[in-house]
Structure 1
Amino acid sequence: MSDEQDEVIQFLLNPAHHGGAPVDHVETHGAHIFLAGDEALKIKRAVSYDYMDFSTLDIREKMLRRELELNQPAAPEIYRDVIPVTRNEDGLNLGGSGEPVEWVLRMWRFPQEAELSQVVARCEMTDRLAEDLGQAVARYHAQSSRRDADGARLIGEIIEELETAFSGMGQQLGDARVAQFSSRAWRAFDRVSPLLTDRSAAGRVRRCHGDLHLRNLVLIDGRPVPFDALEFDETLGTCDILYDLAFLVMDLQHQTLHRAANIVLNAWLFEQGGAEDGSLAALPLFLAIRAGIRAMVDVQTDAAAHREGQSNKDAQSYMDYAGRALDDAPPRLIAVGGLSGTGKTTLARCLAPEIGRFPGAVHLRSDLERKALAGVDPLEHLPEDAYSAASAQDVYDRLQERAETILAAGQSVILDATFMAPAERETVASLAQRAGVDFTGIWLEAPEKTLTNRVTNRREDASDADASVVAKQSKRDVGDIAWTRLDTNGELNDLVTRAFDIVR
Structure 2
Amino acid sequence: MQIEALIDGLGQGEAFPGGQGEPVEVLQTHISVLFFVGDRVYKLKKPVNLGFLDYSTLEARKFFCEEEVRLGRELAPSVYLGVLEIREGEAGLRVGGREGKVRDYCVAMRRLPAERMMDQLVQRGALEQGQLSALVDLLVDFHKRAATGKGIDEFGVPGQVWGNSEENFVQCRALLREDPERGRHLRALDLLEEWSREDFEKRRGLLERRVREHRIREGHGDLHAGNICFLEEGVVIYDRIEFNLRFRCLDVASELAFLGMDLDHLGARELSRRTMRAYAERAGDLEMWELLPFYKTYRAMVRAKVALFRAHEPEVPAEEREQSRQEFLRYLGLGLGYHLGRGLVLLCGLPGSGKTAVAKVLAELTGALVFHSDRIRKEQAGLAPEQSAKAAYGEGIYGKAQNEAVYEALLEACRAALAAKEPAPEGGEGGLVIADAGFPSRARREPFVRLAKDMAVPLLCVHLDPGWDSLERRVRVREARGPGLSDAGLEVLRERAKTFEPPEECETGTLLRLGPPFASLPPTEAALEILLHAPPKDSR
> Which band: TM-score by shorter chain?
0.5 to 0.7
Matched, 1:13 2:22: no
Q: Is the 8 A contact 1:154 1:239 kept in 2?
A: no
For residue 201 of structure 1, the aligned residue among 207, 212, 215 is 212
Matched, 1:148 2:153: yes
Match of 2:521 in 1: none
Q: Letter of the 2:33 partner, please give it.
A: H
For residue 178 of structure 1, the aligned residue among 189, 210, 231 is 189
**Distance in 2 (alpha carbons) for counterparts of 1:221 and 1:5:** 37
Offset of residue 137 of structure 1: 2.1
Q: Is the 8 A contact 2:119 2:266 kept in 1?
A: no
Match of 1:314 in 2: 327
**Distance in 2 (alpha carbons) for counterparts of 1:301 and 1:113:** 25
For residue 210 of structure 1, the aligned residue among 215, 218, 221 is 221
Secondary structure class of the residue paired with 1:80: strand
Q: Is the 8 A contact 2:264 2:428 kept in 1?
A: no
Offset of residue 75 of structure 1: 0.8
How many residues align? The count is 336
Match of 1:133 in 2: 135
Alignment of structure 1 residues 348-387 onto 2, 5 Å: 356-357=423-424, 359=426
Offset of residue 356 of structure 1: 3.7
TM-score, normalised to structure 2's length? 0.59
**Distance in 2 (alpha carbons) for counterparts of 1:119 and 1:354:** 29
Match of 1:445 in 2: none
Going from structure 1 to structure 2, the CA distance change for 1:359 and 1:194 (only over 3 Å counts) comes to: closer
Q: Letter of the 1:324 partner, please give it.
A: G
Offset of residue 227 of structure 1: 0.6
Going from structure 1 to structure 2, the CA distance change for 1:320 and 1:109 (only over 3 Å counts) comes to: same
Match of 1:258 in 2: 269
Going from structure 1 to structure 2, the CA distance change for 1:46 and 1:112 (only over 3 Å counts) comes to: same
Match of 1:157 in 2: 163
**Distance in 1 (alpha carbons) for counterparts of 2:322 and 2:204:** 35
Secondary structure class of the residue paired with 1:268: helix
Q: Is the 8 A contact 1:15 1:23 kept in 2?
A: yes
Secondary structure class of the residue paired with 1:21: coil
**Distance in 2 (alpha carbons) for counterparts of 1:81 and 1:355:** 50
**Distance in 1 (alpha carbons) for counterparts of 2:166 and 2:423:** 29
Match of 1:375 in 2: none
Going from structure 1 to structure 2, the CA distance change for 1:11 and 1:294 (only over 3 Å counts) comes to: same
Match of 1:288 in 2: 297
TM-score, normalised to structure 1's length? 0.63
Match of 1:168 in 2: 174
**Distance in 2 (alpha carbons) for counterparts of 1:129 and 1:325:** 27
**Distance in 1 (alpha carbons) for counterparts of 2:91 and 2:13:** 18
**Distance in 2 (alpha carbons) for counterparts of 1:22 and 1:303:** 28
**Distance in 2 (alpha carbons) for counterparts of 1:4 and 1:138:** 42
Secondary structure class of the residue paired with 2:85: strand
Going from structure 1 to structure 2, the CA distance change for 1:360 and 1:184 (only over 3 Å counts) comes to: closer
Going from structure 1 to structure 2, the CA distance change for 1:50 and 1:354 (only over 3 Å counts) comes to: farther
Secondary structure class of the residue paired with 2:136: helix
Offset of residue 235 of structure 1: 1.1
Q: Is the 8 A contact 1:64 1:105 kept in 2?
A: yes
Match of 2:59 in 1: 58
Match of 1:94 in 2: 95
Q: Is the 8 A contact 2:69 2:82 kept in 1?
A: yes
Going from structure 1 to structure 2, the CA distance change for 1:55 and 1:184 (only over 3 Å counts) comes to: same
Matched, 1:303 2:316: no
Offset of residue 119 of structure 1: 1.5
**Distance in 1 (alpha carbons) for counterparts of 2:67 and 2:198:** 36
**Distance in 1 (alpha carbons) for counterparts of 2:116 and 2:128:** 14
Match of 1:47 in 2: 48
Match of 2:85 in 1: 84
Identity %: 24
Q: Letter of the 1:190 partner, please give it.
A: E
Offset of residue 262 of structure 1: 1.0
**Distance in 1 (alpha carbons) for counterparts of 2:421 and 2:256:** 20
**Distance in 2 (alpha carbons) for counterparts of 1:209 and 1:67:** 11
Going from structure 1 to structure 2, the CA distance change for 1:268 and 1:357 (only over 3 Å counts) comes to: same
Offset of residue 249 of structure 1: 0.4
Offset of residue 143 of structure 1: 2.5
**Distance in 1 (alpha carbons) for counterparts of 2:101 and 2:70:** 24
Offset of residue 360 of structure 1: 7.0
Going from structure 1 to structure 2, the CA distance change for 1:155 and 1:51 (only over 3 Å counts) comes to: same
Deviations 1:429-472 (A, max 9, x none): xxxxxxxxxxxxxxxxxxxxxxxxxxxxxxxxxxxxxxxxxxxx
Going from structure 1 to structure 2, the CA distance change for 1:7 and 1:290 (only over 3 Å counts) comes to: same
**Structure 2 portions without partners, runs of 5+:** 343-419, 430-540
Alignment of structure 1 residues 401-440 onto 2, 5 Å: none
**Distance in 1 (alpha carbons) for counterparts of 2:269 and 2:233:** 22
Deviations 1:392-424 (A, max 9, x none): xxxxxxxxxxxxxxxxxxxxxxxxxxxxxxxxx
Matched, 1:28 2:22: no
Going from structure 1 to structure 2, the CA distance change for 1:169 and 1:178 (only over 3 Å counts) comes to: farther
Match of 2:509 in 1: none
Going from structure 1 to structure 2, the CA distance change for 1:51 and 1:310 (only over 3 Å counts) comes to: same
**Distance in 2 (alpha carbons) for counterparts of 1:123 and 1:278:** 30
Secondary structure class of the residue paired with 1:311: helix
**Distance in 2 (alpha carbons) for counterparts of 1:217 and 1:314:** 21
**Distance in 2 (alpha carbons) for counterparts of 1:128 and 1:361:** 23
Offset of residue 5 of structure 1: 2.7
Deviations 1:51-80 (A, max 9, x none): 222111111111111111111121111111
Match of 1:72 in 2: 73
Q: Letter of the 1:155 partner, please give it.
A: V
Going from structure 1 to structure 2, the CA distance change for 1:102 and 1:354 (only over 3 Å counts) comes to: farther
For residue 231 of structure 1, the aligned residue among 230, 236, 242 is 242
**Distance in 1 (alpha carbons) for counterparts of 2:280 and 2:250:** 17
**Distance in 2 (alpha carbons) for counterparts of 1:184 and 1:44:** 35
CA RMSD of the aligned region, Å?
Answer: 2.4
Q: Is the 8 A contact 1:130 1:263 kept in 2?
A: no
**Structure 1 portions without partners, runs of 5+:** 330-352, 363-504
**Distance in 2 (alpha carbons) for counterparts of 1:8 and 1:291:** 32
Q: Letter of the 1:101 partner, please give it.
A: R
**Distance in 2 (alpha carbons) for counterparts of 1:13 and 1:128:** 40
Offset of residue 126 of structure 1: 3.5
Secondary structure class of the residue paired with 1:19: coil
